[in-house]
Amino acid sequence: MTLNDLAPLIPLMVIAVSSVIIMLGIAFYRSRAFSGLLTLAGIAVAFITLFGVQGTRQVTSLLILDDYALFYIGLILAASFVVALLSSDYLEGRRENIEEFYILLLLSTLGSSVLAASTHFVSFFIGLEILSVSLYALIAYTRNELNIEAGVKYLVLAAASSAFLLFGIALLYGETGTMEFSRMSSGISAQGINKGMLLTGFALVLTGVGFKLAVAPFHMWTPDVYEGAPAPVTAFVATVSKGGVFALLLRYFIQVDMHAYPSLFGAVAFIAVASMFAGNLLALLQKNIKRILAYSSIAHLGYLLVAFLAGGVMRVTAVTFYLVAYFITTLGAFGVVTMLSGKERDADAVEDYQGLFRHRPWLALIFSAMLFSLAGIPLTAGFIGKFYIVAAGAGSALWLLVIMLVINSAIGLYYYLRIIVVLYAQPGHSEVSAVSSLPLTGSLVLVLLTVLLLWLGVYPEPLIEMIHRMTMRF
Amino acid sequence: MLAEGIFIYLAAAITILSVLVITRKNPVHSVITMLVLFFHIAALYVTLNAEFLAAVQVIVYAGAILVLFLFVILLLNLKEEAVARRYVGPWPLGLMAAVGLFLAIIVSLDSFVAGPKGAFTTEVIKAETNTKALGKILFTEYLYPFEVVSIVLLVAIIGAIVLAKKRLRS
């Protein structure tokens, strides 16, 4: 490792250093605004320095900063920026000492960014631990009963899934003698390899990753944690944490060809179908917005896995575009929940939204746009994303998976539309409508997200172009 | 013959002790059983020439972590919990998962005789011992991640303080 190697790591170092600066700053001067501004500045500077990284830079065997990694890190940073903006007003009055929230937020962003750039199991695991450990604290941050329950659940399950992951990594290392993704693929195709052990290794790694991505049958924790966590943190778990892990999964299986292992392919296909059905069918039974969004995120990860299973360059385009759309939509939906939440509890019951259009028309319209995008209605980014996934699946002749996806989109439509109907119904009696005024920053963020959502839905070419350029150099 | 005998003793003792750890009603008994279990695992590592792992097992697990467990149990004064119903879900599910994992491991380890591949073959490790090989690679090739682990510790410290204290003095 030389000084030359450090240059491409500047974006990651900026995040780490700004978290330390905030920590030291708190020791002298405690102020929510100060810590919040430092966080936003840190993320913004890190984002700008991303453009300074030229070409593909491999930093030791652990990290690579190519266009793919830079794109995903950029996406993760943008999402963290939005979460930081949303959480500043949300946390006010919910507990004392909210400054530390920003340190944890920055460090978990760092963990997720490391995942997006990992080419080695060691950096993968360390990135994942930085991400998960900060999430334990973030989920339980406001310290009410629901929070702490969700935090403990996440702690136990994430720790157990890390154990599976480590065991899988150990088996893969034992069989191939390397932990680098690129060398592992040649190790796998070598003569005299023990396929049983490799497959067990893959299965265990997939179990560990499946927990983090919350795909069926490893999805049990999702609704409870989504419901219990503070709304902005839920947005963070749904976007930043899953985005980083998915970026890593995609990179790993581009370098290690999954199609050589039919049973592995079958297992992932099963997970995809199970996630779609589990997510959509269980969402039908829910009366809590956060839980509905949780189940919907399980289903969306299932859709993503369909694109993931398709071969070729097309899948990177499809997955990346879908993730961008999913990020915008999820942040927007949880942003609305954040804005409406009173101090006693989050606005998570469906009744809280009854007749929202009458007293908050703009918010209702924004929420409708987000739900339409989740359902994949045209003119939203969600539609284009789903279109690309179907195209990728059809291009690889994964007809069964594509048919499952279409059936599930139809089921999903039902519960999204049900919420939209409630939004425009006669107002009910809910204390949530009594929230006096909406914070300005949050409103601006939501408007911006909606504009982005519609823009990508109507004119997706610039983003598609960008993703194409990124995959060209892969 | 002697090596085999020792292995069979250790394997049997580890299995029995593990079952005891999860079936004791009194958490203090569980922890004490776990202490004995950890020493047996350490002994198993020694017979496999993994002296570094054995030392870590004793120092970190038996020494630090178990003492922490005992402290927590004693501080919480778990009189009622000691006899209360345990928070365990349906056991057939657990059994199924355990049997599945067991089968997977049996299948995968069935033909695992070649020893580790890659740069660290059995001969290399025998020539320069585990501790030396581990230290060398940790402070050369993996120096950077080794340093970055400090961030994991930082996160853990901040998280623990934030969650444990309601009000931090400002």
Residue of higher predicted confidence among B145 and B81: B145
Select from A234, A58, A36 the least CA-distant residue to A135: A234
Residue A374 lies in a domain: yes
**How much is the pLDDT for A463?**
92
Select from A93, A98, A107 the least CA-distant residue to A136: A107
Residue count (chain B):
170
Residue A443 lies in a domain: yes
**How much is the pLDDT for A135?**
95
- Per-residue pLDDT band for B79 (boundaries 50, 70, 90) equals low
Q: Tell me, yes or no, if A100 comes closer than 8 A to chain B by beta carbon.
A: yes
Shortest alpha-carbon distance between residue A316 and chain B (Å) = 28
SS3 state of residue A240: helix
Domain count, chain A: 1
Enclosing H/E stretch for A199 = helix A195-213
Question: With contact defined as beta carbons under 8 Å apart, do B106 and B24 qualify?
Answer: no
- Per-residue pLDDT band for B169 (boundaries 50, 70, 90) equals low
Q: Where are the domains of chain B?
A: 1-86, 128-170
Residue of higher predicted confidence among B143 and A40: A40
Q: Tell me, yes or no, if A115 comes closer than 8 A to chain B by beta carbon.
A: no
**How much is the pLDDT for B145?**
87
* A120 phi/psi in degrees, rounded to 5: -150, 145
Residue of higher predicted confidence among A234 and B94: A234
Give the range among A463-467, B76-80, B131-135, B150-154 with minimum mean pLDDT: B76-80
- Mutation target to probe the B interface, by most B beta carbons within 10 A, among A12, A21, A100, A141 is A100
As a whole number of angstroms, the distance between CA B104 and CA A205 comes to 13
Range of the domain at A366: 273-474
List b or e across A24-59, with b for residues whose CB sees 16 or more CB atoms inside 10 angstroms: ebbeeebebeebbebbbebbebbbebbeebeeebeb
**How much is the pLDDT for A382?**
93
ipTM above 0.95, yes or no: no
Token pair listed for A269: 């296909």
pLDDT in tens, chain A (474 residues): 677 788 889 999 999 999 999 999 998 888 888 999 999 999 999 999 999 888 788 888 889 999 999 999 999 999 999 999 999 888 887 888 888 999 999 999 999 999 999 999 999 999 999 999 999 999 999 888 889 999 999 999 999 999 999 999 988 888 888 888 888 877 777 766 777 788 888 989 999 999 999 998 899 899 999 999 999 999 999 999 999 999 999 999 888 877 778 888 999 999 999 999 999 999 999 999 999 999 999 999 999 999 999 877 788 999 999 999 999 999 999 999 998 887 777 888 888 888 888 888 899 999 999 999 999 999 999 999 999 999 999 988 889 999 999 999 999 999 999 999 999 988 876 655 555 678 888 899 999 999 999 999 999 999 999 998 888 766
**How much is the pLDDT for A355?**
86
List b or e across A275-286, with b for residues whose CB sees 16 or more CB atoms inside 10 angstroms: bbbbbbebbeeb
Find the closest chain B residue to A152 by CA distance.
B163
**How much is the pLDDT for A431?**
56
**How much is the pLDDT for A247?**
94
Q: What kind of architecture, by CATH, is found in domain B1-86?
A: Up-down Bundle (1.20)
pLDDT higher than threshold 90 for residue B17 = yes
List b or e across A202-227, with b for residues whose CB sees 16 or more CB atoms inside 10 angstroms: bbbbbbbbbbbbbbbebbebbbbbbb
**Contact (CB<8Å) A196/B111:** yes
Question: With contact defined as beta carbons under 8 Å apart, do A347 and A337 qualify?
Answer: yes
Q: For residue A174, give every residue at least 6 positions away whose Cβ sits within 8 Å of its Cβ, in sequence order, or none.
A: A197, B112, B116, B117
A25: left (phi over 0), alpha (psi -120 to 50) or beta: alpha
Residue A129 lies in a domain: no
Q: What is the mean pLDDT of chain B?
A: 84
List the Cα angle A58/A104/A252 in 5-degree steps: 35
As a whole number of angstroms, the distance between CA B163 and CA B152 comes to 16
Find the closest chain A residue to B100 by CA distance.
A200
**How much is the pLDDT for A360?**
87
Shortest alpha-carbon distance between residue B93 and chain A (Å) = 13
Predicted structure pTM score: 0.92
**How much is the pLDDT for A472?**
74
CB atoms within 10 A of CB A440: 9
As a whole number of angstroms, the distance between CA B128 and CA A41 comes to 49
HEC-encoded secondary structure of B11-71:
HHHHHHHHHHHHHCCCHHHHHHHHHHHHHHHHHHHHHCCCHHHHHHHHHHHHHHHHHHHHH
- Mutation target to probe the A interface, by most A beta carbons within 10 A, among B108, B141, B143, B147 is B108
Contacts of B170 in chain A (CB under 8 A): 30, 97
**How much is the pLDDT for A191?**
67
- Per-residue pLDDT band for B60 (boundaries 50, 70, 90) equals very high
pLDDT higher than threshold 60 for residue B87 = no
Cβ burial, residue A239 (10 Å; 0-12/13-18/19+): buried
- Per-residue pLDDT band for B89 (boundaries 50, 70, 90) equals low
Residue A114 lies in a domain: no
Q: Tell me, yes or no, if A30 comes closer than 8 A to chain B by beta carbon.
A: yes
As a whole number of angstroms, the distance between CA A459 and CA A436 comes to 37
